[in-house]
A and B are shown apart, each in its own frame.
Chain A
């Protein structure tokens, strides 16, 4: 059987906090992408938002299920300019694993699942949609609510290829 699950690239924030990170020129020869993130919002609790291919149009939507420590919650947002993929606590390490499936086909919309643990605010499952059939060749993650992504935050991108 063909081995797969290969590292494509990795980013670690050095020097000073940044507002976003981007993986570009993503090869098209995999079936799925997995993005593993360890993130520290440096000011306020923050949504981590994702866009593809520098598309800033209102072409994204998301549905999520979460638990905040006392009650379960669910929400959705349509016609957004990005997809929330996590809600992370301020000055706290959070982890996020995003699965982007069939990212390189040109026949379907693109969907992603994110499992996020904002250890002080929310553990959640997000299902995101990009209403585009284009192959994904770049991914940008942006912090929100006035927070930046702190030094030592890491982002690792993997590819999985179906036989």
Chain B
């Protein structure tokens, strides 16, 4: 492809710290929501061969400004805790919640698709609880929407083999929502 820039000529590969080497980042599975929508997104039979997982999504629904709720290995117990901070475009908030039945994986969007990127660290390590982090949000051209940082903890040392996502308002993820699971080698 052609790369054009005024007064530039450098076309080498970036040496910035943290850039991956091809082969370190692999696509595991993808869910594209079709007409009629879907109330639940599940990634199951996740292989344990990676160091970390990442879920990249866009989603749209009839109900904005709710958390996307994630559970691991179908655990619906009060074994999760969360912290998040966000901005609505007019104000900010921060909260911490204990003994939840989920961790947050972004904020839901309406009218326009909302992006989220969720990292699950050391998901297959059976010596530690599991921690996650998310950046996400939604913009809807002047409507109240949020930009958010979220983190979560699952008090379980089991390897994560499945991830289930639901909408915080218990409505469907609408058509064109897209969820992609990746594995990162380490």
Contacts and interface: CB of A to CB of B under 8 A. Distances in A.
Contacts of A13: 5, 7-8
Interface string A1-15: 111111111111111
A5 B176 CA distance: 23
Most A CB atoms within 10 A — which of B89, B94, B148, B178? B89
Given A127-B145, A158-B19, 8 more contacts: A18-B7, A21-B8, A24-B2, A31-B178, A63-B139, A74-B86, A111-B114, A131-B141
A109 B112 contact: yes
Interface residues of B, number: 63
A22 B4 contact: yes
Interface string B57-101: 110100000000000000000000000011111111010000000
Nearest to B117: A99
Given A101-B115, A107-B176, A156-B19, A79 B141 contact: yes
Chain A interface residue count: which class?
Answer: 35 or more
A12 B3 CA distance: 11
A10 B12 contact: yes
18 contacts: A1-B27, A4-B27, A5-B24, A11-B11, A14-B7, A14-B10, A21-B6, A21-B8, A36-B14, A64-B89, A65-B137, A65-B147, A78-B142, A99-B115, A108-B112, A125-B149, A129-B139, A129-B140
Q: Is the interface of A mostly helix, strand, loop or mixed?
A: strand
Contact of B147 (A3, A21, A74): A74
B5 A22 contact: yes
Interface of A: 1-16, 18-27, 31-32, 36, 38, 61-66, 72-76, 78-79, 99, 101-102, 105, 107-109, 111-113, 115, 125-129, 131, 154, 156, 158, 160-163
Given A10-B13, A76-B89, A111 B112 contact: yes
A73 B92 contact: yes
Q: Which 8 A-B pairs have the closest CB atoms?
A: A74-B87, A76-B89, A65-B87, A156-B14, A12-B10, A78-B142, A5-B25, A162-B180
